[in-house]
Amino acid sequence: MWTAHGIRIIPGPSALWFDAAGKRLPPPLFPGFDTLATLQHLASTGHGYSWFILNQRIIAKEFALSGSEQNPDLTGKSVRKTLSRVLPGAITPVGIFQQKGADFVTAADLPELVRRMNTLTGDGLLDAARLAHEIEARDREIANSFTKDAQIAAIRNARTYLGDKLVRVTKPHCILDPKAGPLIAVRLCVLTRKTLGGLQTDLCARVLQANGQPLGNVFAAGEVAGFGGGGMHGYRSLEGTFLGGCLFSGRTAGRAAAEAVDSARRR
């Protein structure tokens, strides 16, 4: 939609995540898990991208795209379209990305998928035999009720919650199962989605200048005051907790501003 922009995938836990050279990311760096640790790991590889490898069954149930344009059922408040998420087949925006997205690769078998992945990047880093070894080793663990594959254990655990079982997490199965195909690879690049902070404030929510002194009667609250990215929620804050930070810092700023007005009136 916009030049040099990207879209954020909100994945379920079933896709396999590989670095640019085709090495599976170590636990617990699974899709949808510890994003900050994953970024640190990927940065250490020396490559600017990584890969999801999955199949049609997984993408149809577990992929969602961030943004109002990519979720017309929710933004349009359509109950019928929202309920259709539980039906077979990828949600329309995901299907469009799969068909036309520059970073989506589809193939009937793994050798062809790897060939197309290497063609897309142009660097030839991936070896089909190595990827086959990784994926087949993972697939063998599906039949093991006591598997030590942490990702499969995480998938099974996620499905103990009925909501995830119905609409979010697909039943554990072999990635290379032809009945679940075709195979899909998605090239992932690091994306700056938003910034948090920028204005330094004191405990009364007053905006501070570079010299540490208040900038007149200027107050700040919410994300602009950095409550999420290292503020009251700490370095590893979760987006689901941001509303509380908005309310708390907004209350602090509002009370301080009202007190400043009262003080000015008294003078």
What letter would DSSP give residue 214? E
Check: CB of residue 65 under 8 Å from CB of residue 9: yes
| Reported pTM | 0.79
Q: Which two tokens stand for residue 56?
A: 């049609």
- Residues 6 or more apart whose Cβ sits within 8 Å of residue 180: 55, 56, 57, 58, 173, 174
Q: Which two tokens stand for residue 234?
A: 């700490």
Which of 102, 88, 138 minimizes the C-alpha distance to 1? 102
What is the mean predicted confidence (pLDDT) over 215-241? 74
Reply yes or no on whether the pLDDT at 96 is more than 50. yes
Per-residue confidence (pLDDT) for residue 88, from 0 to 100: 65
The count of other CB atoms within 10 Å of the CB of residue 83 is: 11
Across the strands, what pairs with 207? 201
pLDDT digits (tens, 9 = 90+) for 32-85: 888 889 999 999 999 999 999 999 999 999 998 887 677 777 777 887 777 666
Q: Which two tokens stand for residue 251?
A: 């209350």
pLDDT digits (tens, 9 = 90+) for 167-222: 899 999 999 999 999 999 999 998 877 766 778 889 899 999 999 999 999 999 98
Query: Any idea how long the chain is?
Result: 267
Question: In order of start, what are the domains of the chain with their CATH numbers?
Answer: 9-189 (3.90.700.10), 206-266 (no CATH)
Token pair 């599976």: residue: 24
Check: CB of residue 9 under 8 Å from CB of residue 63: yes
Helices 128-140 and 110-121, axial angle in degrees (round to 10): 130
Per-residue confidence (pLDDT) for residue 227, from 0 to 100: 66
Per-residue confidence (pLDDT) for residue 252, from 0 to 100: 92
